[in-house]
Amino acid sequence: MGNEMAIGTSRETVMRAVSGLTGALLLVVAVAGCGGAEKESAAAAPGVLDGFSKPESVLVAGDKWFVSNIGAKQEPMTKDGDGFLSRLDTSGKVVERKAMPRAGDPPLNAPKGMAYVDNKVFVADIDRVVGYDVDTLGQVFEAPLGGEAASLLNDIAVLDDQTLLVTDTVRGSVYELDLETKKFGTLTTSIPGANGIVFDKSTKTAYVAGLGAHFEGGDLYKLGVAQAPAAVGKVGTVHGTLDGIALLANGDLAVSDWVSSDNPVPGTIKIYHPGGTQVSTVELPRDVHGPADFTIDGSGKNLIVPALADDRVVIVALP
């Protein structure tokens, strides 16, 4: 949770901070290539999907959707083995509620942000990134972060076919993960509560939503990823309990805000120009508590939003 807090921070201290938010969350964007999904898929009708277990992130991977579920309890840093990924079709119908991990594969604990590249789904799971084959749904990849300090790997974006960008909320960091060597390299440690991330290929800029060092509220950041450490700057005055972030076709950014860690308080999704000027607010069809790692459907017309505290996924039209 920022540089100062990551070094020597006890797991108990971190858990207390995380439990106040009940899940530090993330995002993947298929339309912009952040999730690696370049294929078009049918648009789903706006509505509400039920039956999930603390859904944290949604990924569009061609003609398949995946939803990461933290598990029965909102414990994003607990290695309890009750996390899983659900597989849906492009209409939003749940094809298999517990699609991954398969029988015989290692358990998932609290899976969050996902990305799609090379016919694989990659998911952040506390202190490692795990990969699954999209066709067999079997585990084919695992990269542990390492280090003694507490960590909370949260969101993933695709930099290129060989490299993922991964946020670490507790350490306030963004890493590059080499998919061949399975090694993490640090781009920055200067984003308190680093959460959702999206990569704009046209400008070679990553945008990161921050929660704040103590999850008290954070800012929106941009990173020039062509150098290490990356050049970091704030995006306007965007501030809140920020979580998911998506890059729209026109270059604008959609950002979710829990508004309050108190679950009865509904969250928001707002649209900003890349410079930070607010353009509009997404009209949600109902209260959404804990709007986490949303994504855009294959048509580019709808947002698919996991309402973590409601155990639901909401599909809503873009303004």
Q: What is the pLDDT of residues 266-316, one digit of tens each?
A: 999 999 999 999 999 999 988 999 999 999 998 999 999 999 999 999 999
List all residues 6 or more positions away from 21 whose beta carbon is below 8 Å from its beta carbon: 211, 215, 241, 258, 261
CA-CA distance, 309 to 53, in Å (whole number)?
Answer: 9
List all residues 6 or more positions away from 66 whose beta carbon is below 8 Å from its beta carbon: 58, 59, 85, 86, 87, 88, 99, 114, 121
Instruction: Please choose, from the candidates 26, 292, 23, the residue with its C-alpha nearest in 3D space to the C-alpha of residue 156.
Output: 26
Q: What is the pLDDT of residues 208-226, one digit of tens each?
A: 999 999 889 999 999 998 8
Q: Is the dihedral of CA 180, 185, 190, 192 positive or negative?
A: positive
Rounded to two decimals, what is the model's pTM? 0.88
Upstream peptide bond of 266 is cis (omega within 30 degrees of 0) = no
Q: What is the pLDDT of residues 122-147, one digit of tens each?
A: 999 999 999 999 999 999 999 999 99
CA-CA distance, 86 to 172, in Å (whole number)?
Answer: 28
DSSP-derived secondary structure letter, 102: P
